[in-house]
DNA sequence: TACAGAAATGTATAATTTTGCAATAAAATT
DNA sequence: AATTTTATTGCAAAATTATACATTTCTGTA
């Protein structure tokens, strides 16, 4: 008699390492862990006893990484995890440095930025709410600016320049 | 005479740090860098001279992280970098679960997702390159889908459903 | 220009992570 | 079961990264 389907909901037969890996996944998705030592302690609470070296290998195996969060603290993340929205203090000058071009096509204005900056730049524009601008849609490195009906390009351009004064200096 | 397209390729007025940040982005997207010392050397080749401490701060600022690659080596990655993950059933399934609505306005289609998922979903659409869809712009929770000229809404809808079959079951 | 405050950086050091190697445990083979 | 092979782990040291503090550079203003 053979087994054709093997059920694995019983953790009893799982290897110790696999169990620990699962525990690690669970811990770092629910808690803000910023060092392997912290992880050791949380694991101990769950009954897993191991050294920091083992954790290091586990994290390597699981492709877990450590990255700065929005508050400037380091946290561990699972690969492929969806990143959270970023809010907070944004430096106009810094953002301006990452704006590459302002172009027009029909009634749309496109603000090109360095990769990853579109959202931050668009947030500023949205906060200012210039009369000339109806709304924006930000991708990764491009912002689509929709002008209010009847507003000419030059006005849109000026309103953007009003928000990011540094841009003017970089036009040749 | 007006400028309708404004180019900003003059980096002269950019802060030193911003320039270095750009260089770092470029280096780690193109090369497999596994330590900050390696990065220092590559930066030196590009004319940026700084210490490891500065790099550490730069990487923290840029939300760059280090993770094990498929060969067991550590490499630096940009946050939000496009992953060349296999496009398996599970991924599609998971993403579909995070799609909330498909709406139309004039010639534009808007795909609403849960926060943070717009980019991942848009990447899939871009990869498939359906004939009906000219391109997409992804924000945080909204994707703007631009249809090819003359393509009716129903065709756009069908092409989206073809990519995310699970949608049909959930969206009326 | 001179000055005050803020931002960026280097130095030295602390904190943290990674790894070679030996020991142990687990799995496979005979 | 005994033996061999492979995988996992701890220990200690090396490698790497983060940060406190001092110094320099930058920015805006009088």
Residue nearest to nucleotide D16 (CA to C1'): B35
pLDDT for A10-26, tens place per residue? 344 567 787 898 889 88
The answer to whether strand D lies under 7 Å from the CB of residue A168 is: no
Contact B78 A114 (CB under 8 A): no
Burial of B86 (0-12, 13-18, 19+ CB in 10 A): exposed
Q: Phi and psi of B96, rounded to 5°?
A: -55, -40
The answer to whether strand D lies under 7 Å from the CB of residue A22 is: no
- Scanning residues 138 through 157 of protein chain A, those with a beta carbon under 7 Å from any atom of strand D turn out to be none
Annotate chain A with three-state secondary structure. CCCCCCCCCCHHHCCHHHHHHHHHHHHHHHCCCCCHHHHHHHHHHCCCCCCHHHHHHHHHHHCCEEEECCCCCEEEECCCCCCCCCCCCCCHHHHHHCEEEEEEECCEEEEEECCCCHHHHHHHHHHHCCCCEEEEEECCCEEEEEECCCCCHHHHHHHHHHHCCHHHHCCC
Average the pLDDT over B3-31 and give the result: 65
Q: Could you tell me how many residues make up chain B?
A: 172
- Scanning residues 85 through 104 of protein chain A, those with a beta carbon under 7 Å from any atom of strand C turn out to be 94
Percent of chain A topping pLDDT 90:
17
Residue B87: pLDDT band by 50, 70, 90 thresholds?
very low
| pLDDT for residue B114 | 67
Task: Answer for the pair A106, A147: CB distance below 8 angstroms, yes or no.
Answer: no
pLDDT for A55-81, tens place per residue? 999 999 888 999 988 788 999 998 743
Instruction: Say how far apart CA B131 and CA B134 lie, in whole Å.
Output: 7
| pLDDT for residue B52 | 95
State, as a whole number of angstroms, the distance between the CA of A172 and the C1' of D30. 31
pTM of the model: 0.59
Q: How far is CA A11 from the centre of its chain?
A: 34
Report whether pLDDT(B77) > 80: yes
Residues 69-98 of A with CB under 8 A from B: 72, 74, 77, 79-80, 82-85, 93-94, 97-98
Pair type for strands B65-68 and A108-113: unpaired
Report whether pLDDT(B11) > 70: no
Task: Answer for the pair A108, A144: CB distance below 8 angstroms, yes or no.
Answer: yes
Quick one: tokens of B166? 């699970």
Burial of B30 (0-12, 13-18, 19+ CB in 10 A): exposed
| pLDDT for residue A14 | 61
Average the pLDDT over B100-127 and give the result: 76
Residue B13: pLDDT band by 50, 70, 90 thresholds?
low
Contact A140 B80 (CB under 8 A): yes
Nucleotides in chain C with any atom closer than 7 Å to protein CB: 8-12, 15-20, 26-27
- Helix (H) or strand (E) holding B66, with range, is strand B65-68
The sign of the torsion formed by the CA atoms of B27, B29, B31, B33 equals positive
Average pLDDT score over chain A: 76
**DSSP letter at B72?**
S
Chain B CB contacts of A157 below 8 Å = 6
Instruction: Say how far apart CA B18 and CA A104 lie, in whole Å.
Output: 26
Average pLDDT score over chain B: 76
Angle between helices A153-163 and A118-128 (to 10 degrees): 100
| pLDDT for residue A117 | 74
Instruction: Say how far apart CA B16 and CA B60 lie, in whole Å.
Output: 17
Task: Answer for the pair B110, B118: CB distance below 8 angstroms, yes or no.
Answer: no
| pLDDT for residue B66 | 93
Burial of A21 (0-12, 13-18, 19+ CB in 10 A): middle
Report whether pLDDT(B90) > 70: no
Residue A37: pLDDT band by 50, 70, 90 thresholds?
very high
Please indicate whether residue A128 or residue B86 has the higher confidence score (pLDDT): A128
Task: Answer for the pair B82, B66: CB distance below 8 angstroms, yes or no.
Answer: no
Task: Answer for the pair B134, B159: CB distance below 8 angstroms, yes or no.
Answer: no
Secondary structure class of B5 (helix, strand, coil): strand
Task: Answer for the pair B163, B130: CB distance below 8 angstroms, yes or no.
Answer: yes
Report whether pLDDT(B134) > 90: no
Report whether pLDDT(A5) > 60: no
pLDDT for A126-164, tens place per residue? 777 787 877 778 877 788 887 776 788 888 988 898 888
Chain A CB contacts of B10 below 8 Å = 170-172
Residue B2: pLDDT band by 50, 70, 90 thresholds?
very low
Closest by CA to A78, choosing from A55, A61, A57, is A61
Report whether pLDDT(B23) > 70: yes
- Residue from the list A68, A98, A104 with its beta carbon closest to the beta carbon of B18: A98
| pLDDT for residue B107 | 66
Angle, CA of B113, B117 and B120, to the nearest 5°:
125
């Amino acid at each position: 008699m053979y087994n054709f389907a093997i059920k694995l909901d019983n953790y009893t037969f799982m290897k110790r390492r696999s169990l620990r890996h699962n525990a690690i996944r669970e811990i770092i998705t629910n808690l803000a862990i910023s060092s392997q030592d912290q992880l050791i302690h949380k694991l101990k609470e769950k009954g897993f006893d191991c050294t920091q070296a083992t954790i290091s290998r586990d994290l390597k195996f699981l492709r877990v990484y450590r990255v700065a969060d929005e508050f400037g603290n380091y946290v561990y993340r699972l690969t492929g995890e969806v990143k959270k929205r970023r809010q907070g203090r944004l430096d106009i000058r810094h953002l301006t440095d990452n704006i590459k071009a302002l172009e027009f096509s029909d009634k749309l204005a496109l603000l090109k930025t360095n990769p990853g900056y579109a959202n931050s730049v668009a947030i500023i524009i949205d906060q200012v709410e210039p009369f000339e601008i109806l709304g924006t849609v930000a991708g990764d490195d491009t912002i689509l600016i929709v002008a209010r009906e009847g507003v000419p390009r030059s006005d849109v351009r000026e309103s953007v320049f009003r928000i990011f004064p540094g841009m003017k200096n970089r036009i040749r």
